[in-house]
Structures are given as structure tokens and as C-alpha cells.
Structure 1
Amino acid sequence: MSTTSSSLTMLSLFLLLCAAFGNSRITTNHRKNVLFIVSDDMRAQLGAYSGPNFPSPIHPQMITPNLDRLASESLLLTRAYVQQATCSPSRTSFLTSRRPDTTHVYDLKSYFRKVGGNFTTLPQYFKEHGYESVGMGKIFHPGKASGGDDPPSWTLPYFHPRSKRHWTTKERSWYAATHDERKKRPLPDEQIVKHAVKMLRKLAPKAKSGQKPFFLAVGFYKPHLPFVFPEEFLAMYPPSEIHLPPNPYAPENMPSIAWTTYRELRMFGDIAQLGLSGDINTTIPSNVTLDLRRAYYSAVSYIDSLVGKLLAELDHLGLAQSTIISFVGDHGWHLGENGEWTKHTNFEQATHAPMMIRIPGLTDHGIVSDQLVEFVDMYPTIVEAAMLGTLPVCPEESSHIEVCTEGTSLLPLIFNRQSEASSYAFSQWPRSGKMGYTIRSSRYRYTEWPKFRRHHIYKPKWGDLAGVELYDHLIDPEENRNVAYDPEYASVRCELSLLLREGWRGQETN
């Protein structure tokens, strides 16, 4: 959506926000707080997503009452897409509002401030506007990929839980922890929510008085592998209710470069002993698939319970009506559909992830949007919701510009849910010297795999393709058949190829 295509001007948006917040004069003493929650590897299979945009037609009912409650009070984006389906590239992208070809982060090692530019991150933006910026758990990818949790983003020391290594052993892909074990060594995410509650209580007095608003970022590690959770959550999902995916095979006519051998799962001891290669159409045994799916659901319900504790504390402290809350998963996750596991692909299961934004006074009764949106849209949306200005659109060369966006604010969807944030969503995945660029339209997913010139160039060579994919979601929502070479789709492929090569900037001028 271009800046001129919205039916609401920024002035009218501002006035509506003022009316919702009950203030005609907004000063630093009346700014909304922000609770920014991220979950790792969570696909959009929450109860609130039941319907046509659910990840799979075969599933038990995901038990997520707290996230469903949050969704009922939020702008719920049922078709939100990440820019790259793995941790560091995705998080770097939505925390800077820039795409991987701008951040130059495609792996778990590169730090955007070294390879892309000295970009102002979302928590840093709030810090520089007078907020107490506090982080904990997994917000940025830890370690080298973020220079150690990106120090410029925070005003207080960053928090990491103890005993994390004990619970991330490579011996097993999942584990239901007993009460006694957790009493001796609390699970990492339990420690994170305990610290988050402690910080909320510490920050509340100044936030309520208007002296110092806060930006509190809470990053949960689960349901990332290994799936570890309190044993009581396993009881929520009886084995008889867990089903195999309906399509445990690779898409017909899929180019081999589109496939991941899901090494992230195969390296766990219990999976490694199966001797799986991860090659195309070599499936995991059914009993193991069922166990993994059950454990994943249990881990999601566990995280939901921790989100519930955060929401309850906000209510208890009287902060609920003065705090913007956002919740996202950093990307989706394959659970055996198409024979795939983990992420690391351009398929719907990997690129589609949950996103919801609660803005007191504006989304109280819930707004559900099925418009296509992207994770780069979140940064400008939260900034505008907090009335901290409007981010300019990044020029093509923006390595020297600290603050700009390659997304668009989603606030118009609150006032006009038929408004289109964008007609397309763009994602990408690097593999074997190629870059898989994918464009998602309302009906289709189209992908090309050009040779990619990475070092100091970061440009695709469109004339050298290793594969092309086209999936028609109207008749094939599970992406079981690549129709890129079907004559009846020739005109569709031509149109989407041109749009894909124009990229997101081409949509700004349409």
C-alpha cells in the first residue's frame, strides 16, 4: 500500500488515536507502554486462527485460551508472512523493518550492524524516545548474530535464564518435565515469565504516573526444538486425538532445491538413531510423527499459559488499558506436511506465522483481518500506535539511514478492515548459491530460484534459475502440486514472475 492509497490521512489517524486514548494533547507523560512478546517456531495453529487460514486441515484443537483471549482484543492478522523462515534473519528483519537483502542477514552468524548498517531497532527507537527499554529471553538471535542481544536496544541489563543448556540437550527431541525436575531446575521460559512479572512490578509506578513509559520485550524459547514442557500439558492431548498429516509427501513436480533435509530435527539422538537421510519423500515413521506432533502442541499450550501470566499481571497492576501488546511467532513450522519438518523453506507452513496487536481503545472488541501483511509492517504499526511518529519509507540504498521502513503501517486495517495493507507478501530462502524468492498473492504462491550474488552485491541473477514453483491455493491450499509448467497457468506465471522481480518496491508505485 503506497502512502497515498489509504483512505485515511495520517492526520485523521492521529485524531482517532487521540480520541481512543482519551487525550487531545499527547505528551511523554501520556504515552502508552508496549509489551512485545515473541515465541520461537510457532506456526499459526492457535484456536483464534480456526478457519480457512489454518495451517492444516488435520489437527487436534490447539488449546490456547490466553492467546485466543488476546486475539479477541487485538487486530488479528490471519495472513501474516515472515521475510525469511529462520530465527535470526526473520527477527533481524521485523526488529529493523528491513528485508534480508537490506540487512544482509541470511544465517545465524551475521550481525546486521556489521553487514547491513547501523539501523535503529524497534526497542532502540522507543529507548531513544524516552522509554525504559527492557529485554529478556530470545528477542534477537543470541550470541554473535546480534553482538550479544544488541546492546544499543536496551536501557537495562539483558536477562537470560539459568540452566538453559540442561534443557536443550541433543539427546532427545522432546521431553515432558516433571514437577520435581522443574523445582530443581526451572524451565527457561518459566524463569523468563517470572523475571517479566518482576520487571512489570518494578516499572509500573513510573509508568502509571507518566514519569517513564516502558517497552518490555519478552522472548520465549518454545516451542522451538527440543520440545520441552511441564508434563501436565501432555495430558491435554490424548494420543487418540493426534492425527498424521494428510499429505506426507513432497509436492508433485517440486524442484529439489525447494527441499530442506530438516537436519535441525535429525541431529537429536532419538531421531538420529532412525537413520533418516531427510531426502525427498523419505518420511519419519508414523509413531514418531505422532509423538512429535503431540509434543509440539503441548509446548505451544505451555507458552500460552505463560502468556496468560503476563496478561494477568498487567491486569493486576492496572496497566492493561495503558499498554499496547503485540504477539508474534518468528516464523512458521512444518509438522510433517509435505513430508517436511522444521522451517528453512518458502512453503506456506514455514512463512505463515501468528501476529496480533492489541491497542487499548481501538481493538478492544477484536478486529480480524485476512488481508496479506508482512512482518516488516509491525515496526511502523507499533510506532504509530504509540503516537511516536511515522517512519519514512527506505530508499533503495539505505545502509546509511538509521530510521526507515520497508513495510507499511497496519493501522488503516483497524479503521477500515477492507483496506489492503498490500496485495502481496514477499519471502526468501538461500540455498546452494541460489536465493528462492517467493511472492504470495491472495490465491497463489509463486517462487523462483535464481543464482544469487551475495558478497558485496546481494543481487539475484534472474537469467540463471534452478527451479520455479507455482501453487494454486484456491484448489490446492496444502501446496501439493507445482503447476508452474502447466500450460493453463502460463499467463499467471508470467504475471507473477514480473511482480516477483519488481519486488515490494514495485507495489509502492502500483
Structure 2
Amino acid sequence: MDGNSIVGFYILLSIALYVQGAKKNVLFLVADDFRPNIGVYQGLNLGPNHTPNLDTLASQSMVMKQAYVQYAVCGPSRSSFLTGRRPDTTHVYDLETYFRNVGGNFTTIPQYFKNHGYTSVGIGKIFHPGLSSNYDDPISWSKNYHVSQAHHYGHSRHSHSWRAVPDIERQQFPLVDEMISTQAKKSLNELATAGQPFFLAVGFHKPHLPFLFPQKFLSDIPVSMVDLPTNAYAPVDMPDKAWNNYAELRVFNDIAVFNATGNPNTTLPDNVVKDLRRAYFSAVSYMDSLVGEVLSELKNLNLMNDTIISFVGDHGYSLGEHGLWTKHTTFEDAVHAPMMLRVPGLTDHGVVTNQLVEFVDLFPTLVDAARLPKLKICPEESTHVSVCTEGKSMLPLMTSPNGPWKMAAFSQNKRGKGIMGYTVRTDQYRYTEWTRFNGAPVFKPNYSRSLVGVELYDHVKDPQENVNLAHHHDKTDAVASLKKILHSGWRSKDTNPGIIG
């Protein structure tokens, strides 16, 4: 038996052993505003690595190094990946709109597991809270959705963009994510003795603004470890609509004093940039420690071999690159986010794939990993179809991480009432068209009208997206090819082989 035959034999054996196993639990972990900032992504992040627990989880998971959200804002992104449908199907483009009111009565990931015999419990920020989810989408959960509160830290919500909280204060007033971790561990113990498979979703608020974290995490990251972005300027020839003035950060009193306009090619003082980046990385380390606590509890309960573990950030984040902050763009820093999936028996020794995957792929993958009835691809009009997906199960990548896969990942972001930026990422390029958008009842781009802006970035030569090549004469063929991919969309068999049929 040659080497390839031996490898093939063990792949088939691992699949056979996996299939024979009992029904697996699911631990569904979500972080907020989390760019790829863990060890396995080294070279893609610009900050220090202080995520030992996520690094350990990554070593036992399939890590998707090129995973892309469909919309780089919390509410639209979560509505999308939790239903497995794209924003132009959910019709959610803001933080106020509830997908069941405007898109359809779509079955969500936790709801699907609940409907198939699982106890479904949500803790922390899973859906975007408030009206945008009818207060945490009650239909998705078997038990009351646990919402943590920390009023002590919210009384002056916009006073400081970041703060390292002393231990003596935390003892009296625990931080929100600490309470979420505590509740998650309590729920794990309850679910472990219930004799029923569970789907436990745990959503951490950090590293979302304001960057609040225990003092010790700031001490672990000296200022000398924090670099300034090397590209604190807007991309050359960037169209105006590509920009966002990061009002989400400028609203904080400690930032407002600098009278920053948020306009292209303006920036904050270097010391402020360093402080913000340091605080963000500290918040990441804090979140990582809480993930570690939850995973330790799962291990203590002897449930690691019986539980699928999913971890994602809801979208990426800009930390001064291009002079930008937060999200709300179609740039790589905003739409590229971490995703990993641990499936006992399939990913025990770690799998890394560089294939392009999308967050809508998460729903069908979890369903396949848990061996529940497979999801069908949504028809073009799926308003009245409660269960379907606009993604593709990533399970084949666990045994063939470099096998045939998608040729592109699609994202979008809205500007005002009538403009939408549609972007497509291939292995080499990011291509974006800012176009007129037909809202209700159509919810589609109007490509028949002239474009408001076009962007093309070559990720082989320019991974930071510093120069827009869309109007360079030597890129005419590339633009034409990418335009065809973008306009054909994710349903194209050329772009997405195997998605239909």
C-alpha cells in the first residue's frame, strides 16, 4: 500500500468511526468585533499574540484562514450567519431591523437544533440584542435566554473608549463577560446531567467598544509591543463611498476631545492609536481567558469528546489601518474574521484550510457535523421557506482541506438608502462595486445604472489594500472577469461548484 493509499485509508477510517458515534452536543462560541488575532493566523494580524486558549482550540479544530462575513456590522452579520442566508435575503442592513419581520420566518441554527431534540440555551450576545432580534429571538431557545447586565459600567456609556478595571472594583462589580462565563459554566453543569443533547450558545461582548477588561491584561502587553499601522492613509484612488468616518469610536469623550473628523487621510495622534490598539489586544486576551474557563469546564465534565465546538468572531475590525476604525466597510480588515470548528474524531490533530469560506457556510456545516437532516439550498425566492441555506457545508474540507471548493466569497455594505457596496474576494483579488440598490420589494443591486465607485485590490502584491487598481489599463481583463463573478453571484456553478443540485 503506497503513501496516498494509507492516507486515504485513515481518512475513511476516521469518517467511519465518527459516523458510528453518539449524537454530539454543540458549544457555539461567538466573540464581538474580533479580527483574526490568534496564533494560527500569524502574519495576518498586526498585534501581539495573547490567546493561549484559542490557540489550543485551534490545534484541535479545522481553522478556516480565509473566512468572510457577509456584512461587517453586528446585527446584519448575525442575522445572516444564524439563519444561513445572505443580507439581501434577510433584508437586515442595520441594528434595528428584525429578520422575521422583513425577511421571513426563517429557522435559525439554535432553533434547528431545538427542533431536532436538543436543549437549546443562549447566554450573552448571540443575536444582536433589542428590537433587532425581538429581544434575543425567543423561538430559538428551549430555555429563557440569559441576558447579563452590568449597570455599573454603563452609567456613563461614552465617557471612555477603553478602561483597565482594577480587581477591587471587579470584585464588587463583575464585568459583563465574566458573568456570561459564570452562567455558561453553570449551564454546562445543568445540561451535562439532563440526559439530552444540548446546543449551548455563549456570546462574549468583547473586544467590542468600549474596551473594558481586568487590569492584569493591560500589564501583560507593554506599549513597546504595540506597533502603529504602517498604512494610516486611505487607499490610493479610493472611491468616496468606500469610506466610513468611524463615528462609533469618535462618540467617546476621550476621543472627541481631539476633534477628529473621521475623514479620509486624517488620523488620531500616535499615542492615542497605540493606546487604543493596546486596549483592544488586552480585551482580546481577556475574552480568550473566559473562553478558556468555559472549555475547562467542558473538559472537567468529560464532555470534550462528545461536543462539537464552534468559535467565530461576528466580523473583522479596523485598528487604524487606512486611518480607519471599527467596521462598516468592505475592506479586508472588516469582512475577514476568525472561524474554527472542532469535531471530535475528525479534527483531533488540527486541520488548516486556506480555501475561501463564508459565514453562511456555518449553519449547514454544524448540521452535517451533528448528523442531523441536511439543509437544502434555498430557492431564489425563499421568503416562505422556513428551512434552507445559502451556504455550503464545509465538512468535506476536514478530510480534504485543499480539495475543490468555492472560487469566491461575497460580502456587502450599505451607504444611506440607495447605495450598496458589493464585494467579491478571490484568492488574488478583492473587487468591489458601489452601485444603486433597489430596496423593498426587490432587494437587489441595480447594475443597469452607472456605478458610484469601483475598487480592485491585488492581494498578492498589495495585501493591505493600499492601491485601488480598478482603473489601471493593465487590469482591464481582471476587472471584466471579476465583474462577471460578482454579477453572477454565489449561485453560479462556475464560482461555487456543487452548490446547486
Would the aligned equivalents of 1:55 and 1:349 in 2 still touch at CA under 8 Å? Answer: no
Mark the CA change 1:186 to 1:14 in structure 2 (over 3 Å): closer, same or farther: farther
Give, in angstroms, the shift of residue 418 of structure 1.
Answer: 1.1
The answer to whether the 8 A contact 2:405-2:497 is kept is no
Q: 2:63 aligns with which of 36, 51, 76?
A: 76
Q: Aligned pairs, how many? A: 484
2:313 maps to 1:315: no
Where does residue 302 of structure 1 map in the other structure?
Answer: 286
2:5 aligned partner? none
Within the candidate set 499, 504, 507, 2:485 is matched to 499
User: Which of 195, 200, 203 is equivalent to 1:216?
Assistant: 200
Pairwise CA distance, 1:164: 4.5
Q: How far apart, CA to CA, are the structure 1 residues paired with 2:439 and 2:13?
A: 45
Q: Secondary structure at the match of 2:29?
A: strand
Q: Secondary structure at the match of 2:310?
A: strand
Choose the corresponding residue for 2:49, options 40, 62, 80.
62
Alignment match of 1:444 (pick from 419, 429, 439): 429
- In structure 2, C-alpha distance between the alignment counterparts of 1:395 and 1:217, rounded to whole Å: 28
1:397-412 matches, within 5 Å, as 397-412=381-396
Distance 1:377 1:312 in 2: 28
Partner SS state of residue 315, structure 2? coil
Measure the CA separation in 2 of the matches of 1:43 and 1:129. 33
Structure 1 residue 47 displacement after superposition: 1.4
1:9 maps to none
Counterpart for residue 19 of structure 1: 17
1-side partners of 2:353 and 2:313: how far apart? 17
Post-superposition CA distance 1:1-55 (Å, at most 9, x none): xxxxxxxxxxxx99964512544xxxxxx3100000000000002112114xx14
For 1:108-166, what per-residue CA distance to the aligned partner results, in whole angstroms no more than 9, with x for missing partners? 01100000000000000000001000001100000000011001100001111122562
* Alignment-derived partner of residue 32 in structure 2: 40
Cα deviation code 1:328-352 (max 9, x no counterpart)? 0000000000111000000000000
The residue that corresponds to 1:487 in the other structure is: 473
Pick from 38, 41, 49 the counterpart of residue 41 of structure 2: 49
What amino acid is aligned across from residue 173 of structure 2 in structure 1? Answer: R
- 5+ residue gaps in structure 1? 1-12, 24-29
Question: Could you give the per-residue CA deviations for residues 234-273 of structure 1, whole angstroms, max 9, x where no partner exists?
Answer: 0111011111000000000000110000000000010011
Given that 1:41 and 1:332 are in contact with CA atoms closer than 8 Å, whether structure 2 keeps it comes out as: yes
State whether residues 21 and 360 of structure 1, in contact with CA within 8 Å, keep that contact through their aligned partners in structure 2.
no
State the alpha-carbon separation in 2 of the partners of residues 421 and 159 from structure 1: 38
Q: Does 1:182 align with 2:170?
A: yes
Give the match for residue 186 of structure 2: 198
1:356-412 CA-partner distances (Å, limit 9, x unpaired): 000001100000001100000000000100000211000100010011110000011
Q: How does 1:124-163 map to 2 (within 5 A)?
A: 124-163=111-150
User: CA RMSD for the aligned pairs?
Assistant: 1.5
> Using the alignment, how far apart are the partners of 1:219 and 1:272 within structure 2?
29
CA separation of 1:293 and 1:395: change in aligned 2, threshold 3 A? same
- 2:442 pairs with one of 438, 457, 462: 457
CA distance in 2, matches of 1:286, 1:259: 21
Among all aligned residue pairs of Structure 1 and Structure 2, give the percentage whose two residues are the same amino acid: 55
Gaps of at least 5 residues in structure 2 are 1-10
Matched residue SS, 2:366: helix
The residue aligned with 1:98 is: 85
SS of the aligned residue for 2:489 comes to helix
2:28 partner amino acid: F
* Cα drift, residue 420 of structure 1: 3.5
Q: Say which SS state the counterpart of residue 371 (structure 1) adopts.
A: strand
Deviation larger for 224-233 or 452-461: 452-461
Closer, same or farther: CA 475–393 of 1 in aligned 2, 3 Å: same
Superposition pairs for residues 184-333 of structure 1, below 5 Å?
A: 184-206=172-194, 211-333=195-317
The one-character-per-residue Cα deviations of 1:410-441 (angstroms, maximum 9, x if unpaired) are: 01101111113311000000003210000000
What residue identity is the alignment partner of 1:505?
Answer: R
CA contact (8 A) 1:410 1:421 kept: no
Q: 471, 478, 501: which one pairs with 2:464?
A: 478
- TM superposition shift of 1:457: 1.5
Aligned residue identity for 2:488: E
Alignment partners' CA distance in 1, 2:467 and 2:149: 46
Structure 1 contact 164–188 (Cα < 8 Å) conserved: no
Q: 3-state SS of the aligned residue for 1:442?
A: coil
Is the 2:421–2:433 Cα contact (8 Å) retained in structure 1? yes
Q: Who is 1:8 aligned against?
A: none
Q: Which moved more, 1:121-130 or 1:160-169?
A: 160-169
Displacement of 1:448 in angstroms is 0.2
